Amino acid sequence: MEVIISKTYDELSKAAAKAVAKTVNSKPNAVLGLATGSTPLGLYKELIRMHKEEGLDFSHVATFNLDEYVGLRPSHPQSYHYFMHENLFNHINIAPHNVHIPSATAGNYRAFCESYEKSIAACGGIDLQVLGIGSDGHIGFNEPSSSLGSRTRIKTLTKQTLDDNARFFKDGEKVPIYAITMGVGTILEAREIILLATGAGKAEAVAKAIEGPVTSMNTASALQLHREATFYLDEAAAGKLEMREYFEWIQANKPGGAA
């Protein structure tokens, strides 16, 4: 596991975008696992800039999104279909048939979740998975107590997650209580994983994920078991790391200079 601490959100976003671009440039038909939420917006903005100004090519890239609220149509402003198209896909040259986002309106959810797993496998697996982290340490919608070997499935969201996400919905609009999510086991099969976290509100969850025991009560802690996992943090999100000085020392003394 590597921990990279940036002074600003913009610096963090650009560092993470370089990691994604490196994967795409080294493998033009790379398979990317993507996340939603406010944290990766800067990453997606930088990827769009790289595409338009530097020719970063997504024409053969395939993507699989982590999750989606159950019951929201793709046109709903808070659906993750809408989010991804508004904030990334509409601005790059990705082929529509290479975009995969969980169906929130499938009739048979169990069958859909199984087919989603098969689609990932058919593409050769995920080369790089982008993650955020919830204030309780969840990745995707793998809430505390989720099995660390779990696969794509429906999850009931915790009250904390509902409260955290309520700000994205209009006043009086109910936050969906169910979501389809890739499982922790699915996520861990990605060849490389990057997790982005910003703000003091994520600091405790981040510290437990990096320095605490591997536990289903903080599903991000499972990344300790992955050989190619990198946490991209701003200073506030790194605020409760006991080993922060050491992580910064490693970063400053990497071959070739700081990351």
Q: Active site includes 53?
A: no
Q: Active site includes 143?
A: yes
Distance CA 171, CA 16 (A): 33
Instruction: Give the DSSP H or E segment for 186.
Output: helix 184-188
Looking at 117, 127, 143, 164, which residue is catalytic? 143
CA 135 to chain centre: 14
CA distances from 220 to 34, 182, 185, 205, 239 (A): 16, 13, 11, 8, 17
Distance CA 259, CA 252 (A): 8
CA 26 to chain centre: 21
Looking at 46, 67, 117, 164, which residue is catalytic? 67
Looking at 46, 68, 127, 138, which residue is catalytic? 138
Tell me the helices (H) and strands (E) count for the chain, helix number first.
8, 10
For 234, the 3-state DSSP assignment is strand
Distance CA 73, CA 80 (A): 9
What are the phi and psi torsion angles at 36 (to 5°)? -115, -170
Q: Active site includes 228?
A: no
Question: Would you name the residues annotated as active-site residues?
Answer: 67, 136, 138, 143
